[in-house]
Amino acid sequence: MSQFQLLGIFDDESGMVGAIKAARQQRLRIVEVYTPYAVHGLDRVLGLKRSRLSLVCVAAGGLGAVLKMWFEIWTAAIDWPVDVGGKPWNSLPAFVPITFEVMVLFAGLATVGAFFMVSRLRPGKKPDLIHPRVTNDRFALLIQETDAAFDVGRVRGLLQSHGAVEVSERLVEEVPA
């Protein structure tokens, strides 16, 4: 089955953001937005939910801290207790600096790994550019047909009224899963 899509290319972010607001008011399905840099507030305009990546970071950091404390207490007090200067074997203040460092290491690696998994990035992946200048100085908005009431002329006019310099039609073949 194939899907019909309209691609609007914009010179500036304000025109693209205005077109997104108008498209959302008309209940059009926005498939993707491409920008050469992060646009402040774009997630709110698109109505995206807050990222759960921070939860992954906190959970991995907590897990790293707990595992490091357990390992250090086990090695210093249970497996190989060594009396150094009369200090107790399970001296928690001595464990704090390295525990913090391991916590940061776990949190950082887990966050980067989760980001790559969610965004489907991997080393050597070829970029699938929708327009050749979208990584330099253009902004792209991709709107998909949802039903038979989709009026191509009306959507094209909406994109052009918000400053689209180019509007093109695309027919995308869906790959069955």
Q: Which pLDDT tens digit goes with each residue over 1-58?
A: 678 889 999 999 999 999 999 999 999 999 999 999 999 999 999 999 988 999 999 9
pTM above 0.85, yes or no: no
List domains and CATH numbers for the chain: 2-36+134-173 (3.30.70.120), 53-118 (no CATH)
Pairwise CA distance, residues 120 & 117, whole Å: 5
One-letter amino acid for residue 114 of the chain: A
Burial 109-144 (b: 16+ CB within 10 A, else e): ebbeebeeeeeeeeeeeeeeebbeebeeebbbbbbb
